[in-house]
Amino acid sequence: MRRWIVMLFVISVELSAQEFSPAPFLGMGNTAIAQEGLFSLAGNPSGLSLLAHPQIASAYQQHFMSSDLATQALLFGMPVMKQTALGFAVTNYGIYGVASFMQSGISVARAFGEQIRTSVTVNYHQYTITRYSAQRSLSADLGFIYKFSEHVSGGLFYKNINDARFNTEIDQRIARTLGIGFTFHFSDELLLGGDIVHMFPKQMQYRGGLSYGFHPHFIVRFGALSNPIQYTAGAGFKHRSWQFDFATLFHSKLGSSPQLSLAYAF
């Protein structure tokens, strides 16, 4: 067990409690700030505001270095009134039975007219080492999306605005980021996205990707992100109320980190 705990500590210091990106965004280079739909709960929840029907999704991702190190996620969103939606998201990152980082959040997203979307999110974080200790904290996020036109959107997202952190001897920060992103719908089939993210205290990350729907039911995605340089690829299948997505993150030295997600619209 000690070996697993040491490995988790080393990885978690670098990942700052592991920011989760669902497969449809991960495949596009983790571009998420100006995207819309249920999966925006794990990117910029402002994109949830015009949700037409209740939706639910789950995801599972294996991480670099060990198949025992994984993330599980559950997302749920529903409209509650005109141009307003409520969302719930739970993610858990770690090694089962050893240690984990759990985050649960509730988001309220509201649109103002056809162009403006906003969101407020409150998160509960729990960092647990089995049979040893548990630390808890609360954070808040703010999101904004502006539709410049039918084809171009821009987004702004501030994660962990109160600089929440765990009170531990290990440097175990809760991710705090400020990012701006854009999406360009060149056609019904082709979407390009790009994000620039400041990962406090000083790291910048650049993300870009595209998705192409070559068939009404099938879509492929490609992308890349910096610091360190990583590449992504993915594919999706949609039939009636079901949506299945697969994506992989490629690191030149650590290997691949695959993810599966499944969504259903009621």
Q: What confidence tens digit (pLDDT) does each residue in 36-69 have?
A: 999 999 999 999 999 999 999 999 999 876 777 8
Measured CA to CA in angstroms, residue 176 lies from 66, 102, 132, 160, 248 at distances of 26, 16, 26, 5, 24
Half-sphere exposure of 61 (CA within 13 A, CB side): 29
Structural tokens at position 162:
């109160």
* Predicted TM-score (pTM) of this structure: 0.90
Window from 61-65, 77-81, 181-185 with minimum mean pLDDT? 61-65
Whether pLDDT at 14 is above 80? no
Q: How far apart are CA 26 and CA 31, in angstroms?
A: 7
Measured CA to CA in angstroms, residue 98 lies from 12, 67, 93, 95, 137 at distances of 14, 14, 11, 5, 20
Among the listed residues 220, 198, 194, the one whose alpha carbon sits nearest the alpha carbon of residue 207: 194
Structural tokens at position 138:
């609360």
| CATH number, span 23-265 | 2.40.160.60
Q: Indicate the domain borders of the chain.
A: 23-265
Q: What number is the average pLDDT over the span 217-237?
A: 96
* In contact, 140 and 119? CB cutoff 8 Å: no
